[in-house]
A and B are shown apart, each in its own frame.
Chain A
Amino acid sequence: MNPGIKKNWIKKMLIIAAILLVAGVGFIWYLFSEKFDDTAKVKAEYSVPAAQLIQEFKTNLAEANKRYTEKIVAVTGRVTGIESADTTINIKMTDTTSGSYIIFAFQSQDMNTVKQIKEGDSISLKGSCSGGEYSNILEAHFINFKRCTIN
């Protein structure tokens, strides 16, 4: 190979390697520093009334978990309980006949808005559904949401 061409080839390879290295480091940095988006800016994949969501989990737990878990879901319903958890506030929507419930934990930036909500209010909110299970302690189904915001 002509020494000039060889030198040129090595130079090109070094440039490609440097670009790949920078891209790789950038990608890893992105993965480690990435944060969840503000839920208010994320479009809900499903919109469902609270009573219907509870019914779906009670009727077919596996199917409902498959459909809603780790998805942003908008829920409308009446607030049946407000519970403090350490420094945060959770909102509950309970099916009073069975005791099964949905509980919503909020994003920290939404705390001031959540404080305005009262028991009995009809509200719409959205958040990341963590799925549902049957509680052996409460003998009822429960559905958890995290990173919620008022819709």
Chain B
Amino acid sequence: MKKTIVLLAFACGGLAVFAQKKTTTSATVSFDATTPLDALPKAENKTVIAAIDAKAGTVMFEALVKSFGFSNPMMQEHFNSPKWFDSEKNPKASFSGTITNPADVNFAKDGVYKAKIAGALTLKGITNDVNTDATIEVKGNMLSTTATFTVKLEDYKISNAGGKLAAEPTITVVADLK
């Protein structure tokens, strides 16, 4: 009986830990719209807010568009301009999704899992569906995640400047959550 209670206590303790929402304010999101014609449209935002709710299976991101740092000042200005992401009117980019294969991800056991995530990405005030594969590494109380996907600029009413920009830039997300 005593043993059962101890085991139950451990199990409940474990559930309480893994039921927590894991967050970070330092996720990195890279944006790469480079082409052979232009190597400049490439930026990184190192201060993205991310949250994974292990119990609900939800994944969320919030980023300030103006936090995307380019090496070239002119390119950074273009990125924020009304023709591109119009950061003055739409300062935030956000993603809200769910893990569609929750049975394949065991948040209670250390390991590396392949997750499928489906959600909605809002850029420039326009929301479109996004489906991506992600890697989630469970290590103790920490989650390390990476995901790479592409977005179509035309879905967000952004021109690719006659081929100078990639029509489908690559977005890479790296986040360590605790």
- Interface residues of chain A, those whose CB is within 8 Å of chain B, are 31-36, 65, 69-70, 83-86, 88, 90, 92, 101, 103, 105, 130-133, 135-138, 142, 144-147
Contacts and interface: CB of A to CB of B under 8 A. Distances in A.
B74 A32 contact: yes
Nearest to B40: A32
A85 B64 contact: no
Contacts of B71: 35-36
Interface stretch (B1-9, B43-51, B110-118): B43-51
Q: Interface size class for chain B?
A: 20 to 34
B144 to A, nearest CB: 10
Contact of A133 (B27, B91, B174): B91
Closest 7 CB pairs of A and B: A83-B26, A85-B26, A105-B46, A130-B67, A130-B66, A86-B28, A144-B67
Contacts of B36: none
Given A84-B26, A133-B62, A146-B67, 4 more contacts: A69-B66, A105-B47, A131-B66, A135-B62
A72 to B, nearest CB: 13
Given A137-B62, A146-B69, A85 B23 contact: no
Contacts, number: 86
Nearest to A35: B71
Interface string B54-79: 00000010101011010111100000
Contact of A103 (B25, B50, B73): B25
- The main secondary structure of chain B at its interface with chain A is strand
B62 A85 contact: no
B137 interface: no
Nearest to B146: A86
Nearest to B74: A31
Contacts of A31: 74
B62 A136 contact: yes
Nearest to A69: B66
A145 B47 CA distance: 8
Contacts of B64: 130-133, 142, 144
B26 A103 contact: yes
Contacts of A133: 62, 64, 91-92
A36 B71 CA distance: 6
A35 B49 contact: no
A22 to B, nearest CB: 20
A131 B27 contact: no
Contacts of A136: 62, 94
B176 interface: yes
B73 A90 contact: no
B170 interface: no
